[in-house]
Amino acid sequence: DAGITQSPRYKITETGRQVTLMCHQTWSHSYMFWYRQDLGHGLRLIYYSAAADITDKGEVPDGYVVSRSKTENFPLTLESATRSQTSVYFCASSDPGTVYEQYFGPGTRLTVT
């Protein structure tokens, strides 16, 4: 199916474990983004990527790592999960021709115990 997908949709992990959230889009959009959404904070940008092999930090990058070897995939890794990283994570993508309009995936709800 065309669009943007995220996996897993739900994840429970323990403090200190490494966890990777996957994001896949079929539009061949150049730009991809990772956000977290928390009550009281709204959506905050973690990392973004302008193209394959080009990534940069957003507003709240600490504790996260990203990579982008292929245009369609943009995984987000929590190297050593902490309780403060319990959140809902959204991936988004954008067409460079209309760079302002970002299209979001369904989200991953992550709980760190």
Nearest approach in angstroms of CB 61 to another protein is: 13
Residues 37, 62, 81: CA angle, nearest 5 degrees: 75
Q: Which stretch binds another protein (CB under 8 A): 12-20, 66-74, 79-87, 90-98?
A: 90-98
- Closer residue to another protein, CB minimum distance, 43 or 65: 43
Structural tokens at position 103: 């299209």
Nearest approach in angstroms of CB 80 to another protein is: 27
Cβ atoms of residues 25 and 32 within 8 Å? yes
Please report whether residue 8 would count as binding another protein according to CB under 8 A: no
Please report whether residue 1 would count as binding another protein according to CB under 8 A: no
Please report whether residue 22 would count as binding another protein according to CB under 8 A: no
User: How far is 76 from 2, CA to CA, in rounded Å?
Assistant: 21
Phi, psi of 67 (to 5 degrees): -150, 160
Q: Where are the beta strands (DSSP E) in 39-75?
A: 42-51, 54-57, 64-66
Please report whether residue 102 would count as binding another protein according to CB under 8 A: yes
Which residues within the stretch 47-76 sit at the binding site for another protein (CB under 8 A)?
48, 50, 58
Cβ atoms of residues 1 and 100 within 8 Å? no
Contacts to another protein by CB under 8 A: 31, 33, 40-45, 48, 50, 58, 90, 92, 94, 99-107
